[in-house]
Amino acid sequence: MSSKALGQAGTLESCDALVMVLLDAGKEGIVLEMDGPSLVSFEEDIRVAVSETLASLGISDAEVRLSERGALDCTLRARVEAAARRALAVLEKAGVEG
Amino acid sequence: MTLRRTSLYIPGNNPGMLLNAAVYGADSIVLDLEDAVSVAEKDAARILVRNALRSISYRDVEVTVRVNSLSTPFGREDFEEIVPLAPSVLRLPKCETADDVLRAEKLIGELEEKSGVPAGSVKLIPIIESAFGASNLPEIVRSSPRVAALNFGAEDYTADLGAERTKEGRELDDIRSRIVAAARIAGIQALDSVFADVNDSEGLFEEAFRVRRLGFDGKSVIHPRQIAIVHRAFTPSEKEIEYAGRVVAAIEEAAVRKSGVVALNGRMIDAPVVAKARKVLALAEAAGVHRIEESRP
């Protein structure tokens, strides 16, 4: 991931997730890369949580890297939203300055 | 009676602690967006606490949120994200004037209306932690019907004064008594500050018992192991409950006999003694250690 329009939120502590969202990756759709102990059972739920959260912010194209450590759905969504909002803020700032 | 013997602070950016906040037995929990969250994480904590309020069941524990002051860059967004989730209470840090409460009240009112939260349902607990705030106590408690209690913040208060905070706490006796008196003006609760040394159980009990004697209704805690100790200090003992029961029984018996003067163990029972006894029984009942019916003849 480049550092352009990158937002990161969360931690690698238990019950949390570390999420990075890159908005100007030049790729179409949501490209999601994940690791963590819950993927075996909840990979599809996590994919849905990521896409729904990004969609609620009007984001349809993004590269997302997610490392989860047993985070609940509400925590995953919070971390994706925080990372995405931070990335949006970078884009907005670049737009203003550009 | 809303029991607030303990208010357990939970750092707002810690998902594990937010998840378990209700299991420790505190009467009230404080999901903290203020001092427990670094400036760089204010946005992430706000979103996390909002989602926790949406998704996690805290059962019968009172859920409160310490938002950032509206005079900071973070306060307004805290209100906008949190009020629509209808927490029981917002705790207002660094409250110094009636105007601080009125600004919060106005914004909460607008957000309640916008989000369909019943008007007036989100209460406020101002936290007094400066000399200026301490000089405006009567105005603060009377400023809004949303004010549900007055909370003291001793660390910031002593820092503001340039005083040393000691375990004996004599430097705080005056302000603590004034906070209790101000709370009583509005008929609301007075809640004491945290006791920072989580390894000193004896010191915590002594401080909690001392502030209960000053009239406080509860105390903030920062570690689950402090809860049982503070509850013990703020819950009437068997001896207190037994005496209060006899006082109430004596006054009720006197009313039946139409007797004007009542004595118990050679001590005159007058209105303030009866009022204190009824308060002890109400507190004991709310704490689940007594049923009021049992004390009646």
pLDDT confidence of B297, banded at 50, 70, 90? Answer: very low
Count of domains forming chain A: 1
pLDDT of residue B292: 62
B19 vs chain A: nearest CA distance in angstroms?
9
Q: Which helix (H) or strand (E) holds A62?
A: strand A62-68
pLDDT of residue B253: 85
Residue A1 scores a pLDDT above 70: no
Cβ distance of B43 and A71 shorter than 8 Å: no
For residue A44, give both structure tokens.
Answer: 């599809």
Over the stretch B143-159, which tens digit does the pLDDT of each residue have? 999 999 999 999 999 99
Cβ distance of A82 and B54 shorter than 8 Å: no
For B232-252, what is the mean pLDDT? Answer: 92
pLDDT of residue A96: 66
What mean pLDDT, rounded, does chain B reach? Answer: 94
Cβ distance of B55 and A82 shorter than 8 Å: no
Cβ distance of B52 and A74 shorter than 8 Å: yes
Asked if B16 contacts A13 with a C-beta cutoff of 8 angstroms, the reply is yes
Residue B242 scores a pLDDT above 50: yes
Q: Which residues of A touch B14 (CB under 8 A)?
A: 13
Cβ distance of B56 and A74 shorter than 8 Å: yes
Cβ distance of B15 and A75 shorter than 8 Å: yes
Is this prediction's ipTM beyond 0.90? yes
Residue B97 scores a pLDDT above 70: yes
Over the stretch B209-225, which tens digit does the pLDDT of each residue have? 999 999 999 999 999 99
pLDDT of residue B167: 87
pLDDT of residue B269: 86
Residue B228 scores a pLDDT above 80: yes
Over the stretch B29-45, which tens digit does the pLDDT of each residue have? 999 999 999 999 999 99
Cα–Cα distance, B13 to B16 (Å, whole number): 9
By C-alpha distance, which of B138, B136, B102, B108 is closest to B122?
B108
Asked if B212 contacts B234 with a C-beta cutoff of 8 angstroms, the reply is yes
The CATH number given to whatever domain includes residue A50 is: 3.30.230
A22 and B CB contact within 8 Å: no
Residue type, B214: L
pLDDT confidence of B293, banded at 50, 70, 90? Answer: low
| Domain extent for A10 | 4-94
Instruction: Report the C-alpha dihedral over residues B150, B275, B285, B28, rounded to 10 degrees.
Output: 0
A59 and B CB contact within 8 Å: no
Residue A70 scores a pLDDT above 50: yes
Asked if A88 contacts A7 with a C-beta cutoff of 8 angstroms, the reply is yes
Q: Which helix (H) or strand (E) holds B20?
A: helix B15-20
Q: Between chain A and chain B, how many beta carbons pairs sit less than 8 Å apart?
A: 43
B80 and A CB contact within 8 Å: no
